[in-house]
Structure 1
């Protein structure tokens, strides 16, 4: 299964040339991840950020085409692997049939002190539904 998130490119995302300023893509990625946690994992950020978090420990992104003000991006997220305290995902953004970026990242579940903690079993079960075919 693939999680999808729609993001219209807004004026605030663009540089003076009218294309998305690349750091804004990382904000969009995080918005997609936050929506994934709430909608797909049933574990909204506001419920677990009281006791810990899920920081990104590694991320690799390839930008393949520019996005412009008004474009409608579809961000798709699939799980690549699930560990005891972390998981990896693949995310891609498309506008119509054109890919705009792809990224792979690893998030780790931590306590307030930043120490890795096991992913709760109910969350793990939801994550498994989004494992990319062939992973």
Structure 2
């Protein structure tokens, strides 16, 4: 990733791994979600609220290049590929010691409290695109 919007440090926990000691594939998204939430929070954007709605995922994809193991310290680099009317297409890389171990994309949609898509307002759009 040329210039990430946000960099998040994390560590692979025992509960992230399967019996091989390697990260179980869906657990990578937990670390990516932590990075996304840290970025949104830093921008002053509500992540989820019963009254205001939230940002559910509608698509996720990940390619794994190298196994991550219990105790590995990782860095999640997060960027925005595209801002749609109601959606954000994120890109991410997960690195260990500078090596890209996984990379992918996810799309979230801004929804109201009933799960209906909402147009991303100009103020939120400006915060996302900083």
| 1:97 Cα deviation after fit | 2.1
Instruction: Give the total of aligned pairs.
Output: 127
CA distance, structure 1, for counterparts of residue 80 and residue 50 of structure 2 = 21
- Consecutive unaligned residues of structure 2, counting only runs of 5 or more, are none
Q: Tell me the residue number matched to 2:111.
A: 110
- 1:37 equivalent to 2:24? Answer no
- For residue 94 of structure 1, report the CA deviation from its aligned partner: 0.3
Match of 2:24 among 16, 21, 41: 21
Following the alignment from structure 1 to structure 2, what is the Cα–Cα distance between the partners of residues 101 and 11?
19
Which 4+ residue blocks in structure 1 deviate beyond 4 angstroms?
Answer: none
How far is 1:19 from its partner?
0.9
Q: 1:44 to 1:51 in 2, by over 3 A?
A: closer
In structure 1, stretches of 5+ residues that fail to align are 130-135
Instruction: State the partner residue of 2:79.
Output: 78
Contact 2:91 2:104 in 1 (8 A): yes
Deviations 1:43-100 (A, max 9, x none): 1425x45321111111111111100111111000011111111111101100012111
> So what's the TM-score if we normalise by structure 1?
0.86
